């Protein structure tokens, strides 16, 4: 197979000063992309800031013969998102790839989540992805080419205790990806979401009481996965997804400890009640087995597909 390359392309990786993002940036640069290494600096719970993290990664890329430009703005404001995209345009003249990876984590039981943490998590993950992607989308539309990756999380897609605000923000990114993919399709813009797992500083910084939920799993997994807890093991899927060579769009993927898999939402046929009058609550209860059965599920391209499928079925039943 031919090597997957990014020559002539420009990539923005947010939160690329460490953890997973650093590996995405370094690998994209190694494969020919000019990379904007965005990082606010600061701690894994989103406090503080500084230029060192982005600078170190840029230096590593340049030392290896690659092209990189740092950006220290927070993704969490419209001005920050705009400035990140402007860095790419000023330094390299275009934007082909955006990896929305920046983020932080603050855990608390649902009843105890402080307002400030809810705001901060929504701001960096959900609004941050929006703020960076919106100006980039305009550039990509003009170019007729673009690739987005949204770093969401299994904590949102599947659920995870003590991460209500984080999960809500991350799953919001899935909705954002769905629409960016649909609106981007006519312009050769593709968008996908990632559900990664890796032993980055974000996970290491979790308090023992928060890690207790995972303890039994980690005990079983640790001896089996070799080095694959390392953030490096997420990188190959991400780099493939944002390449010219990958056709995927409007999809989500899990990358956990060296295993890559598609994650999807399906809808089952369910039960269709009477059309002349609403079903009774008791009818819903009576048909519960049919309503919850996953058999013969289908995947939908967009909301309209649900209506179209339903219209077809109702028409068939009326015949």
Q: Point out which residues bind ligand NAI (CB under 6 A).
A: 14-15, 17-21, 38-42, 44, 46, 53, 74-76, 101-104, 124, 128, 151, 153, 196-198, 200-203, 231
Task: Give the shortest CB-183-to-ligand NAI separation in angstroms.
Answer: 23
Which of 16/139 has CB closer to ligand NAI?
16
Long-range contacts of 315-319, Cβ-Cβ distance < 8 Å, separation of 24 or more: 317/272
Q: Which of 100, 93, 169 is nearest to 134 (CA)?
A: 100
Rounded Cα gap, residues 198 and 172, in angstroms? 21
Which of 9/197 has CB closer to ligand NAI?
197
Which of 78/290 has CB closer to ligand NAI?
78
Q: Which entry of 24, 145, 166, 253 is annotated as an active-site residue?
A: 166
Tokens representing 292?
């919850």
72 among known catalytic residues? no
**DSSP-based three-state secondary structure for 177:** helix
Task: Give the shortest CB-81-to-ligand NAI separation in angstroms.
Answer: 10
Rounded Cα gap, residues 243 and 222, in angstroms? 31
Task: Give the shortest CB-92-to-ligand NAI separation in angstroms.
Answer: 19
Could you tell me which residues are beta bridge partners of residue 97?
Answer: 11, 147
Burial of 51 from C-beta contacts in 10 A (0-12 / 13-18 / 19+): middle
Task: Give the shortest CB-123-to-ligand NAI separation in angstroms.
Answer: 8
C-beta nearest to ligand NAI: residue = 19
Contacts of 63 (CB under 8 A, 6+ apart): none
Rounded Cα gap, residues 70 and 66, in angstroms? 13
Which of 46/145 has CB closer to ligand NAI?
46
**DSSP-based three-state secondary structure for 225:** coil
Q: Mind telling me the catalytic residues?
A: 166
């Amino acid at each position: 197979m031919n090597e997957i390359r990014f020559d002539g392309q420009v990539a923005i990786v947010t939160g690329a000063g460490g953890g997973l993002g650093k590996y995405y940036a370094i690998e994209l640069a190694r494969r020919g992309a000019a990379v904007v290494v965005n990082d606010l600096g600061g701690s894994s719970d989103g406090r503080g800031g500084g230029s060192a993290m982005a600078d170190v990664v840029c230096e590593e890329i340049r030392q290896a013969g690659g092209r990189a430009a740092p950006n220290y703005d927070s993704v969490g404001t419209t001005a920050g998102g705009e400035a990140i995209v402007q860095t790419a345009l000023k330094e390299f003249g275009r934007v082909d790839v955006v990896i929305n990876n920046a983020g932080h984590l603050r855990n608390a039981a649902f009843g105890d989540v402080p307002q400030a943490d809810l705001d901060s998590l929504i701001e960096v993950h959900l609004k941050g992805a929006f703020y960076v992607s919106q100006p980039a989308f305009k550039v990509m539309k003009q170019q007729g080419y673009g690739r987005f990756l949204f770093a969401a999380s299994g904590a949102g897609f599947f659920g995870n205790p003590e991460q209500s605000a984080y999960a809500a923000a991350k799953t919001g990114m899935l909705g954002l990806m769905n629409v960016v993919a649909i609106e981007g399709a006519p312009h050769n813009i593709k968008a996908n979401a990632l559900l990664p797992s890796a032993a980055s500083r974000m996970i290491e910084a979790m308090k023992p009481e928060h890690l207790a939920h995972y303890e039994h799993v980690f005990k079983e997994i640790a001896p089996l996965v070799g080095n694959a807890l390392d953030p490096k093991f997420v990188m190959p899927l991400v780099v493939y997804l944002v390449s010219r060579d990958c056709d995927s769009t409007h999809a989500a993927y899990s990358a956990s400890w060296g295993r890559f898999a598609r994650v999807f939402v399906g809808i089952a046929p369910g039960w269709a009640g009477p059309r002349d009058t609403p079903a009774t609550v008791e009818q819903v209860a009576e048909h519960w087995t049919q309503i919850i059965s996953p058999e013969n599920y289908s995947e939908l391209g967009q909301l309209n597909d649900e209506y179209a499928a339903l219209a077809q079925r109702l028409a068939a039943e009326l015949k």
